[in-house]
Amino acid sequence: MIDLPTTAMKPGTLTASALSEGEPITRALTPAIHVATTYIRDADNGYSSGNVYGRADNTTVRQAESLISELEGAGESLVFGSGTAAATALFLSLEPTHIVAPRLMYWGLQSWLRQLPRFGHRITFVDMSDLCAVKAAIRPGETGLIWIETPSNPLWSITDIAAVAQSAHAAGALVAADSTVATPILTQPLAYGADIVLHSATKYLNGHSDVSAGVLAIGKPDMLWASIRKMREQNGSVLGPFEAWLLTRGLRTLDVRVKAQSRGAEVLARRLAKHAAVAEVLYPGLVDSPGHRIAASQMMGGFGGMLSIRLKGGARAAISTAANVSIWRRATSFGGIESLIEHRSSMEGEGSHCPADLLRLSVGLEDPDDLFSDLDQAIARSA
């Protein structure tokens, strides 16, 4: 067992060594999956183990949570059956309030946020990369939460976490950051002043396109956190033990995956920016990208594995390029080891703000040269 204080360990060490100290009785190197839905009550009618019922208490679930807390520098984390279940638990745990959210963000969650008035909340959508617009949208004493997503779907625009947190806190509002794309390897939003972090663990944290999961992590557990925990228990939205075990297994390679995927995305972004058929590459790692300066100050060790391209040939060329690839897989979602390509506005459908000539690219672990050649031939065949 490594005998260093946790804070001294780098994410690569934390993830690779997590839970490998051996089980106390069997000495198994790999942790067991605890599937019990109920626990034995002591003869004196107590529960000395602290475990009572599976919906609230599960060791395998807690192991995933404790690793995520360490990675985020969080006080506590809670895993849910999906990213959506985690996010909605937060919104539904707030007393009715005014919420500010990005105009451009993960489409599925934004559609849900549009229904917030049904739950007593008021909501304003703003351009989160425009700090003046954010400040103008905040109603002091009335705004309870600012929701940010950085980098954000599908244009990968950047929000200055520290600046938004400062304005929010001055007005008495909390900041929750959807950090699904950055992962704790590149950004720890709590260190920049965010109060709560959300991940769709379906994406990079698990990383193998085989688990639906979500997580909320908080710096300092408070009353709101207690209601979120209670909401998860009462709504039954906790992650199952098999999925939690797979999530922990995925997390153990998070550091190396995210760094390699970021390197691949950077190579592709540079080469695509010079491509004659490409009108624009959206990637915060490019020095002339509008969010680059802030991204460089709050993302460490890379700019993430997600980018988008806009094709000069318009929507028709974009759809046809996606049809002509052979290494890239045509599918929605992202963050897995296999590279995915998606005509995003087709997925978002009516009311989408996504440009019709845009292809969203999730860079996996294939060689970037092969990924570029495949995309290049697909673009050529679509001309």
Ligand X SMILES: *Cc1c(COP(=O)(O)O)cnc(C)c1O
Give catalytic residues, as residue numbers: 55, 106, 178, 203
Nearest approach in angstroms of CB 369 to ligand X is 27
343 touches ligand X by CB under 6 A: no
Q: Is 57 left (phi over 0), alpha (psi -120 to 50) or beta?
A: beta
Nearest approach in angstroms of CB 107 to ligand X is 9
74 vs 205 by CB, closer to ligand X = 205
Nearest approach in angstroms of CB 334 to ligand X is 7
Q: Is the bond leading into 96 cis (omega within 30 degrees of zero)?
A: no
User: Per CB under 6 A, which region of 81-89, 343-351, 356-364, 370-378 contacts ligand X?
Assistant: 81-89
339 touches ligand X by CB under 6 A: no
91 touches ligand X by CB under 6 A: no
CB 197 within 8 A of CB 83: no
345 touches ligand X by CB under 6 A: no
Residue 119, classed as helix, strand or coil, is helix
Residues in binding contact with ligand X, number by CB under 6 A: 15
User: Per CB under 6 A, which region of 39-47, 131-139, 197-205, 272-280 contacts ligand X?
Assistant: 197-205
What's the CA gap between 195 and 165, in Å, rounded? 8
178 touches ligand X by CB under 6 A: yes
What's the CA gap between 218 and 205, in Å, rounded? 17
Q: Is the bond leading into 241 cis (omega within 30 degrees of zero)?
A: no
CB 318 within 8 A of CB 343: yes
Directed axis angle between helix 223-235 and helix 83-93, to 10°? 120
Name which position in 212, 248, 362, 382 contacts ligand X (CB under 6 A).
212
User: Per CB under 6 A, which region of 17-25, 69-77, 78-86, 363-371 contacts ligand X?
Assistant: 78-86
308 touches ligand X by CB under 6 A: no
83 vs 241 by CB, closer to ligand X = 83
Residue 146, classed as helix, strand or coil, is strand
Using alpha carbons, select from 382, 376, 131 the residue that is nearest to residue 268: 376
Q: What mask of x and - would describe binding to ligand X in positions 99 to 138, judged by CB under 6 A?
A: -------x-xx-----------------------------
Query: Residue type at 308?
Result: S
216 vs 378 by CB, closer to ligand X = 216
146 vs 317 by CB, closer to ligand X = 146
CB 100 within 8 A of CB 124: yes
CB 340 within 8 A of CB 364: yes
CB 149 within 8 A of CB 102: yes
User: Per CB under 6 A, which region of 13-21, 80-88, 139-147, 217-225 contacts ligand X?
Assistant: 80-88
Tokens 């425009």 found at: 130
Nearest approach in angstroms of CB 375 to ligand X is 22
What's the CA gap between 28 and 15, in Å, rounded? 18
82 touches ligand X by CB under 6 A: yes
What's the CA gap between 41 and 243, in Å, rounded? 26
User: Per CB under 6 A, which region of 5-13, 76-84, 253-261, 372-380 contacts ligand X?
Assistant: 76-84
What's the CA gap between 27 and 30, in Å, rounded? 9
Q: Segment 158-177, which members bind ligand X (CB under 6 A)? A: none
61 vs 278 by CB, closer to ligand X = 61
Binding site for ligand X (CB under 6 A): 82-84, 106, 108-109, 149, 153, 178, 180, 200, 202-203, 212, 214
